[in-house]
Structure 1
Amino acid sequence: MTTLADQPLTGEIESADWPEFGWVDDIRPALARHAATGRPAALATLYQVAGSAPRGPGAQMLFAAGADGGVSASGYFSGDCIEGDVANHAAGVLADGRPRRLHYGMGSPWIDLRLRCGGALHVLLERVTSDSPALRGLLRHAAERRSCTWVSDGETQSVTEDAGPLLSFTNEPFRIARRYDPPRRLIVSGGDPGALAAARLGAMAQFETIVLRPGGPQAPPPFPVAQYLREEPAEALARLKVDRWTAYLGATHEDHHDLAGCLAALRGHAGYVGMIGAKSRAGERLAALEAAGASAEELARLHLSPGVPGLGKSPWEVATGIIAEIMQALNPARERA
């Protein structure tokens, strides 16, 4: 009987010629998709880094065998130095269920696999079954927008409510603890070219992107988004329950929509709140929000005329600057190591 480990994978990952799988940073959606197939997946976690490396501890990849025997991958570690070899080891993990601890680069036993950056990478590979209680817990926390921590020794896995550093590990006994925060979410209110450019870039950057257009057309935006809503911003935000992993951008250019939406986002402690508009109108908008009850602390967190100065004023240039600001604001490294 031929097993998965016997198949001639030779490091060949689906679409390896154009590795778009490396764009994936949050592997939970891929885990959910593979769980739905009933087949196990191999989860790879970068748990220790020495010297220079493209990714830091906590970076992850997911490998799963397709119906045709190929290996689908999500995420990346090294920019093509080790991904193929990790895929081969993942095939073994999927076949026999035994975890692997892999060491690449400085001090590695595999002298034929070199890292161009000159560092060292340590990776844990573990099998995750579709009926795993830990997997169910991980996905439930994501759906409920709550932080949690995946704890594993490679064989026994659990999810705890604790949310410490992004990644910690011990060698004796071996154990990793990897924190997961709620998925990054972007809510864009508006429908002009600038708002659409911001929403599209956010979706491409794998934000859970919601387009909110009060009284907008029935047809959704012409690109994939998580949700398209046509209600008032304040009402939508109350129902969506914003949090510090949420970014809100008011871009309807109608103060009764944008001011109300921004105030709701600020009071919900959104991680980023911005309002597109002329700098000359900043004073009157701040005064209107203060009159509506916004505190000085809330107003200090508001980005008026958001974006990166000097990029330009075309929709894509403005949107690029805004998405960069949002990424920086929602970066968990700003809060916790």
Structure 2
Amino acid sequence: MLKHPAVGTIEPVRALASSAKPGVLAVITGIEGPSYRPLGATMAILGNGSLVGSLSSGCIEADIALHAAECLQKGQPASIVYGRGSPFADIQLPCGGGLEITLVPNPDQVVLQEVAERSARWQVCILTLDTTSGSLSIEDDGETRRNNAVVMIRFEPETFFYVFGKGPETVSFSGLVQSTGFPALVLSPDEETLMAVAETGCCTRHLTSASFPKDLVLDQFSAVVLFFHDHEWEPPILQRAVATEAFYIGAQGSHRAAAVRLSEMAALGASGSDLERIAGPIGLIPSVRDPRTLAVSVLAEILQKRLS
């Protein structure tokens, strides 16, 4: 569903958009062979010398910062090449490929602020960079790609996780999601679960009935996961979930539990296409019983679905 070469990371853009001092935007604008990061990956070199983001596994960032300082002093955009075809023989890329990095001094903050604001509003935004002039502009739609001297970078909202359930599986999964930096809301009828989840830093909400709150608005960047042992909670929640644009909907349980779940949903009027949207058993690793391993397995499955 979401097929494109790369999705831009918003943190470097946010950092430059809010910086009171001059800075440099560094962008991967060309790739030859294998690469650790994709076309359109960004990094910010701030006026105080700090870096936000990365363009490699750590082998070129310090050198990029040196070139960025020179670029900022001259006030002109510049391109540098690492790996294949590079004049810097002493700097090697472990992947064996080649990277072109375009440096943009004092990038247009108005444009960057608009990109950051659209991201905060959960909107797709395309940042267009002219590698010759360093000028930036915004498009409403498109994919990450290069066309002659122009590079388009697609910024999408991050996956938002709506987690319903109770018990150690809910706590482990929400803790993992929180630790990886994804936004999430955990909804549970169990106060003990909510307290444990809150300690991980996740937002929580108390469920008072087996229902899907009407004020939740899910889009194509949303994932819904259910971790209930009392499976009677599932059909009413899933019935509303399949009516949303969520790209992933799944529920914990065995093959038998999944079959019963689908049968109960069919009795509630769910169509065949609705039932096909519900994953279960969930996770890439079959028959997992440990909550921590299940959490990793399910998160990996969701991210694979998002990027497929």
TM-score past 0.5 threshold: yes
Q: Which residue of 2 aligns with 1:197?
A: 172
Instruction: Please point out which of 53, 60, 63 is paired with 1:82.
Output: 60
Identify the residue that residue 265 of structure 1 maps to in structure 2. Answer: 241
Q: Which residue of 2 aligns with 1:38?
A: 20
Deviations 1:259-314 (A, max 9, x none): 23323222112111111123322222101212223221121121112112357421
Contact 2:125 2:140 in 1 (8 A): yes
Aligned twin of 1:329: 305
Q: Does 1:151 align with 2:128?
A: yes
Partner Cα distance (2:11, 2:190) in 1 = 31
| Cα drift, residue 149 of structure 1 | 0.5
Verify: 1:161 aligned to 2:140, yes or no.
yes
**Structure 2 CA distance, aligned partners of 1:248 and 1:281?**
18
Aligned equivalent of 2:96? 118
CA-to-partner distance for each residue in 1:33-68, whole Å, 9 max, x for gaps? 5544533443222122111222221222223244xx
Number of aligned residues: 297
Matched, 1:245 2:215: no
Q: Say which SS state the counterpart of residue 215 (structure 2) adopts.
A: helix
The question of 1:211 aligning with 2:193 is answered no
Determine if the alignment matches structure 1 residue 53 to structure 2 residue 35: yes
Partner of 1:108: 86
| Whole-angstrom CA distance in 2 between matches of 1:312 and 1:302 | 19
1:316 to 2:297 alignment: no
Match of 2:50 in 1: 71
Counterpart-to-counterpart distance in 2, 1:301 and 1:207: 22
SS in 2 for 1:240: coil
Cα distance change, pair 251–99 in 1 and its aligned pair in 2 (3 A): same
Match of 1:228 among 185, 204, 208: 204
RMSD: 2.5
How far did 1:176 drift? Answer: 1.1
Report how far residue 320 of structure 1 moved: 0.9
Q: Aligned partners of 1:103 and 1:271: how far apart in 2?
A: 38
Alpha-carbon deviation of 1:215? 5.9
Q: Secondary structure at the match of 1:239?
A: coil
- Off by >6 Å, runs of 4+ in structure 1: none
Matched residue SS, 1:177: strand
Q: State whether residues 17 and 113 of structure 2, in contact with CA within 8 Å, keep that contact through their aligned partners in structure 1.
A: no
Q: Equivalents in 1 of 2:68, 2:88: separation in Å?
A: 17
Partner of 1:5: none
Q: Partner letter of residue 272 of structure 1? A: Y
Q: CA 1:137/1:294 → structure 2, altered by over 3 Å: closer, same or farther?
A: farther
Percentage of identical aligned residues: 26
Instruction: Note if contact 2:146-2:152 (Cα within 8 Å) is conserved in structure 1.
Output: yes
- Counting only pairs closer than 5 Å after superposition, residues 273-312 of structure 1 correspond to structure 2 as 273-310=249-286, 312=288
Give the conservation status (yes or no) of the 8 Å contact 1:141–1:182: no
Give the conservation status (yes or no) of the 8 Å contact 1:189–1:233.
no
SS at match of 2:171: helix
Partner of 1:3: none
Mind listing any 5+ residue stretches in structure 1 that lack a counterpart?
1-24
Distance, in Å, in 2 between the alignment partners of 1:59 and 1:34 is 15
Q: Is the 8 A contact 2:163 2:226 kept in 1?
A: yes
SS class of match (2:94): coil
Residues 94 and 255 from structure 1, CA distance in 2 versus in 1: closer, same or farther, beyond 3 angstroms? farther
Gaps of 5+ in 2: 1-6
- Flag the structure with more relative contact order, 1 or 2, with Cα contacts below 8 A and sequence separation at least 6: 2
Q: Aligned in 2, Cα 1:274/1:49: closer, same or farther, shift over 3 Å? A: same
Which letter maps to 1:244?
Q
Question: Amino acid of the residue matched to residue 315 of structure 1?
Answer: P
**Residue in structure 2 matched with residue 8 of structure 1 by the alignment:** none
Which residue number corresponds to residue 9 of structure 1? none
Displacement, 1:322?
Answer: 0.3
SS in 2 for 1:134: helix
SS in structure 1 at match of 2:219: coil
Post-superposition offset of 1:229? 1.9
2:69 aligned counterpart, secondary structure: helix
Contact 2:250 2:279 in 1 (8 A): yes
| 1:52-97 Cα deviation digits (max 9, x unpaired) | 222221222223244xxx42332x2221221111122233445554
Tell me the distance in 2 between the aligned counterparts of 1:125 and 1:102. Answer: 8
